[in-house]
Structure 1
Amino acid sequence: MSSTKSYFAKPKFRPLQLMAYILLILGSVVMLIPFAWLLRSSLMDNSQIFIFPPQWVPDPFRWSNFSESLTYAPFATYFMNTMTLELFTLSGVLITSSLAAYSFARLRWKGRDTIFGILLTTLMMPYAVTLIPTFILWRELGAINTYFPLTVPAWLGGGAFNIFLLRQFFLSLPKELDEAAYIDGAKPFTILWRIVLPLSKPALIVVAIFTFIDVWNDFLGPLIYLNSDTKFTLALGLASFKGLMTSQWGYLMAASTTVVAPIIALFFVAQRYFIEGISLTGIKG
């Protein structure tokens, strides 16, 4: 009887929790205002965009802004170039960062923790510090105006942050799985491929999401290494398009919406894995 009463009991009113929800809702509304402005402006002409007080619902809807802006500049080429970089970069990051993280987390070798500490210190090094030496290196190798400077580094470890994130997740897996596999005669690579990686899908998805977003939004790298407009990525192509359409705000907003939309869609599709992977990393140091 008491359990039935407790089941139907009204939840306690918690003012602090209610206040927290209100603040979060207000903060989310503030964060969504720029996206709402971007979307409504992409469906308007210049006279509607700058009207005061602001008009939030387009009248009429100018769907032609999307077709005209995307055909005025070769955005299809920019998209294919970006996806090419995504393919090679994602592959390199997932493969090499997994190998490095597995070595730091599950294998024993001399100087492992020291080298891992040195690796983590590179996270504090600003990108601008290595920018000029790296550019000179690729220039001497004759790789300017190619995709090599933008893809090859992904195959050289996958980045310190990705290694750290995967290492923390690998440490949370029971060591008994490795020991049982060793007894059965499995080699370290077999354990990684058949045991560790299948159990680490949430962390791998997080790394993939971070890498995808970084490559998709990367502007500085393509700006430095790419000279030909036929090799431009979406970020660089959108910047050049902005220079051409300085007064056509409807076209600019439509093109920007098209470039931003896949990232937003990716987050909504993969947010469950994203939250799960982030929450499970760091369980064991």
Structure 2
Amino acid sequence: MRTQKRSKGILLTAVAVLAALLVLVPFLWVLSTALKPDNELFLFPPRLLPGEFAWNNFADAWHLLDFPRYFFNSFMVTVPTAFFTVVVCSLAAYAFTRMNFKLRNAMFLLYLSTMMIPQVVRLIPSFIIVKNLHMLNSYAGMILPQIAWSIPFGTFLIRQFFLGIPKELDESARIDGAGHVRIFRSILVPNAVPAMVTLATYIFITSWNNLIWMLVVVSKQEKFTITLGLATMTGPSVDFIPPWNEIMAATLISILPVFILYLFFQKYFIQSVAMSGIKE
């Protein structure tokens, strides 16, 4: 038995190390490229550690892009997107778990079925709607479709967490005269903080990295997000050889807010996974 458990532990550790390497190696390669001088970018065979560390690439990358403006635009899009997604999904999850109405489960399945529609399929109708509402090159046009696309998954995530909160707490509150608003605000929300923070962080990262919708809805440079700013660094022609070391340095600068956010809220991811599960 001990030998079997030890073998299983070694196997799991090996799988975990392999998974970690699959995640870390691309990041380490980006970091290595960002620290290489120009004459080491196309060496063959390539090497991970540069012969000379070119720290000035980060300063050059900062001056290549208008990072303060692009960061501001990204925050103006991602923060409202994450906040309103959590609000709408929490209210919808409450309705699907705490309110009894006809065809509730069928409606929830129909609700989830929209997750099967790829984003590229939704681009054209979303663009037409945003254009007809005169919201091109506006924060509202960048935010609202992303909220709509995130609602099905967000509702599913928070619904699963709400199902783990005992309904006896609701019944006790109703005996004391509490209504739906009070139960939602005082019982479900405080107990579902890990799930809400997890959803907010996930939506924040997804919105921060969104490029395809920004390419569709934004054409004015003053509204560019950080992803659009990075896209402009590669140049409009195949004849142009982009400065890959500066591009990688700019990429690392652009992910700093996401990295810091994840460091602060990673414990909520673990709590959400441990406490929610898949419930019927």
Scaled by the length of structure 2, the TM-score of the pair is: 0.90
On the 8 A contact 1:42/1:251 being kept in 2, the answer is yes
Amino acid at match of 1:25: V
Counterpart for residue 252 of structure 1: 247
Residues 1:277 and 2:272 are matched in the alignment: yes
The worse-fitting range, judged by mean Cα deviation, of 188-197 and 25-34 is 25-34
Residues 1:57 and 2:77 are matched in the alignment: no
Structure 2: gaps (5+ residues) = none
* Structure 1 position 256, deviation (Å): 1.1
* Structure 1 position 204, deviation (Å): 0.6
Larger radius of gyration: 1
Counterpart for residue 183 of structure 2: 191
**Alignment counterpart, residue 167 of structure 2, candidates 175, 188, 193:** 175
* Structure 1 position 155, deviation (Å): 5.8
On the 8 A contact 2:135/2:141 being kept in 1, the answer is yes
Aligned residues: 276
Amino acid at match of 2:169: L
* Structure 1 position 59, deviation (Å): 4.0
Scaled by the length of structure 1, the TM-score of the pair is: 0.89
On the 8 A contact 1:206/1:278 being kept in 2, the answer is no
The worse-fitting range, judged by mean Cα deviation, of 130-139 and 174-183 is 130-139
Amino acid at match of 2:35: L
- Shift of the 38–157 alpha-carbon distance from structure 1 to 2, 3 Å rule, reads closer
Residues 1:108 and 2:139 are matched in the alignment: no
On the 8 A contact 1:49/1:55 being kept in 2, the answer is no
* C-alpha distance in 2 between matches for 1:75 and 1:160: 33
* C-alpha distance in 1 between matches for 2:250 and 2:124: 32
Give the secondary structure class of the aligned counterpart of 1:196: helix
On the 8 A contact 1:172/1:283 being kept in 2, the answer is no
What is the percent sequence identity of the aligned residues? Answer: 35
- Taking the TM superposition and a 5 Å limit, the aligned residue runs for 1:15-30 are 15-30=7-22
- Shift of the 157–97 alpha-carbon distance from structure 1 to 2, 3 Å rule, reads farther
- Shift of the 13–263 alpha-carbon distance from structure 1 to 2, 3 Å rule, reads same
* C-alpha distance in 1 between matches for 2:20 and 2:212: 29
- Taking the TM superposition and a 5 Å limit, the aligned residue runs for 1:1-285 are 14-153=6-145, 159-243=151-235, 246-285=241-280
* C-alpha distance in 2 between matches for 1:162 and 1:36: 32
* Deviations 1:22-66 (CA, angstroms, capped at 9, x unpaired): 232133224311111111111121212332343433343222111
Structure 1: gaps (5+ residues) = 1-9
* C-alpha distance in 2 between matches for 1:176 and 1:31: 43
On the 8 A contact 1:97/1:162 being kept in 2, the answer is yes
